[in-house]
Structure 1
Amino acid sequence: MLGQALHKAKRDGLHYLVLDGMLIHTDRPYFSGKHRVHGMNVQVIASPGGTILWTSGALPGKAHDLSAARIRGVLPALEQAGIITLADKAYQGAKGPVRTPYKGDPAG
């Protein structure tokens, strides 16, 4: 389904996408130390306008966004599609078309 969503995005002429991880709150059993709540990590790919194009299956809330994207095969799929994808600092170290902000001062 990820491949189909990316193919449709390309066919629709989208010049870039947005990738982000989201913590879905649950009563139990997975605890996210970062957010200090129980939850599940879901990866989301959206259009520049915010339309959700694809969501991953849920992983335990303690999963880091970059790890979750790797587990779900998001990075190779984006590489194959060749669509520039904007992401937050949690995806630093992702290769291919994923673009993240600089950590710290880029000049120093």
Structure 2
Amino acid sequence: MTNASEPAEGVSLVYQCRLDLSTSTIVCLRDLLRSHLKAVRSPFRSQPAGRVAVLVLAMLRHDQRLLDLASGNGVPESTLRRWRDEMIDLLAARAPRLDRALRKIARRGGEVVLLDGTLIPTQRRTGKANRPNYSGKNHRNGLHFLALTDERGRLIWISAARPGRTHDATAARRDKRSSST
């Protein structure tokens, strides 16, 4: 029986890529993760919080297979998946609700906002799990996001990921009623 994680030639290769991120982005995510770990009283992590943040950002930015990124950095694939899901949940918990973001704009005297949906392409999954993520309008698989910007185009709010088949109006209606903080 062969081990699938070992290369056939017997020599491992680490894939490197350039990840353009500001230091403040990494520090923000690192501090967010540190405060979460203190809150749940997690005594140990195999990697420091800053390295976890960089790995998760690299994974999200380059849509790289988890196994490739994990083996190149000495972290199990399941751990990397757990870190990714944990970081997404932490960021989503900080996002304001759509109605609160609109009220905040109104208090500041903003008169114009742009609300638009976009499809972020993803890799196709097989079987029935693929069907909700297929957008007939764009003829692609992906996840649907709503974005709210001010008149200058600055991002004010972005929705949670929805299946690619979701219409903009349906997503806005559901986000108006969402109870996440």
Normalised TM-score (structure 2) = 0.38
- Aligned with 2:109: secondary structure? coil
Report the Cα distance in structure 2 between the residues aligned to 1:14 and 1:7, rounded to whole angstroms: 10
Kindly state the Cα deviation for residue 53 of structure 1 after the two structures are TM-superposed.
0.3
Deviating more after overlay: 4-13 vs 48-57: 4-13
| 1:25 aligned partner, one-letter code | P
1:39-50 maps to which residues of 2 (within 5 A)?
39-50=142-153
**TM superposition shift of 1:71:** 1.5
Q: TM-score, normalised by structure 1?
A: 0.61
Structure number with the higher strand fraction is: 1
Q: Structure 1, residues 83-107: CA drift from partner, whole Å, max 9, x if none? A: xxxxxxxxxxxxxxxxxxxxxxxxx
Q: Please give the residue correspondences for 1:25-44 in structure 2 after superposition, counting only pairs within 5 Å.
A: 25-28=121-124, 29=130, 30-44=133-147
Kindly report the root-mean-square deviation, in angstroms, between the aligned alpha carbons of the 2 structures. Answer: 1.6
Letter in 2 for 1:6: L
2:171 maps to a residue whose letter is A
User: How far apart are residue 5 of structure 1 and its match?
Assistant: 2.3
Equivalent pairs: percent with the same residue?
A: 36
SS in structure 2 opposite 1:62? Answer: coil
* Runs of at least 5 residues in structure 2 that lack an aligned partner in the other structure: 1-95, 125-129
Determine which structure has greater relative contact order: mean sequence separation of CA pairs < 8 Å that are 6+ residues apart, divided by chain length. Answer: 1
Q: Whose helix fraction is larger, Structure 1's or Structure 2's?
A: 2
Q: State the one-letter code of the partner of 2:161.
A: A
**1:2-49, CA deviations, whole angstroms, 9 ceiling, x for partnerless residues?**
244223312322112111111111113411111011111101111011
Runs of 4+ in structure 1 displaced over 3 angstroms? none
